[in-house]
């Protein structure tokens, strides 16, 4: 996981010390894992709090929850931006990437074209593979 984190430092003029913030890269496997854990949770709300002194894992989770909120896959429900719910779009995306075969093909396609893609591109690729899988099994074009 340390390889997916970048550290940025800046000098705080008032305190005369360095402030270090973790800037993670988007991790599609981690996003998939987050969505699956949200769906399988007993409660429909998920808490992802970020506070002073948060470790790298907490910061990575919070960063990715914010990315999911930006894409409309989760919705912030708390006053402090720390409580989330999975939206209908989030459920749709999760349904398209749930199958391990579809997910593997999606990641492979991205890797072949440079290794980086937006969440929207990942969703469109996964939906295309899922549609093909359904067409191959049923003979119906969707």
Per-residue pLDDT tens for 115-126? 889 999 999 999
Mean pLDDT to the nearest integer, 60-65 = 87
User: How does residue 11 score in pLDDT terms, banded at 50, 70 and 90?
Assistant: very low
The yes-or-no verdict on residue 42 having pLDDT over 80 is: yes
Tokens 């989770």, residue? 61
pLDDT score recorded for residue 50: 62
3-state secondary structure of 50: coil
Backbone phi, then psi, for 137, in 5-degree steps?
A: -85, -30
Whether the model pTM is above 0.85: no
Buried b (16+ CB within 10 A) or exposed e, 21-45: ebebeebbebbbebbeebeeeeeee
DSSP code of residue 118: -
Q: What percent of the chain has pLDDT over 70?
A: 78
pLDDT-based confidence at residue 41 (cuts at 50, 70, 90) = confident
Write the DSSP string, 77-112: -STTS-EEEE-HHHHHHHHHH-SHHHHHHHHHHHHH
Residues 70-124 have pLDDT tens digits of: 999 999 887 776 788 899 999 999 999 999 999 999 999 999 998 889 999 999 9
Which two structure tokens, joined as six digits, stand for 56? 């790298």
- Are 35 and 18 within 8 A, CB to CB? no
Cβ burial 79-103 (10 Å sphere, 16+ → b, else e): eeebbbebbeebeebbebbeeeebb
């Amino acid at each position: 996981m340390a390889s997916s984190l970048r550290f940025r430092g800046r000098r705080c003029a008032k305190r005369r010390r360095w402030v270090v913030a973790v800037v993670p890269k988007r991790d599609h496997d981690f996003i998939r894992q987050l969505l699956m854990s949200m769906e399988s949770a007993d409660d429909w709300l998920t808490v992802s709090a970020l506070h002073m002194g948060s470790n790298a894992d907490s910061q990575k989770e919070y960063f990715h929850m914010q990315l999911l909120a930006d894409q409309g896959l989760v919705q912030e429900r708390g006053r402090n931006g720390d409580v989330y719910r999975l939206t209908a779009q989030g459920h749709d995306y999760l349904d398209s990437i749930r199958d391990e075969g579809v997910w593997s093909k999606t990641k492979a396609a991205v890797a072949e074209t440079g290794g980086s893609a937006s969440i929207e591109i990942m969703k469109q690729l996964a939906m295309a593979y899922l549609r093909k899988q359904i067409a191959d099994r049923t003979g119906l074009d969707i």
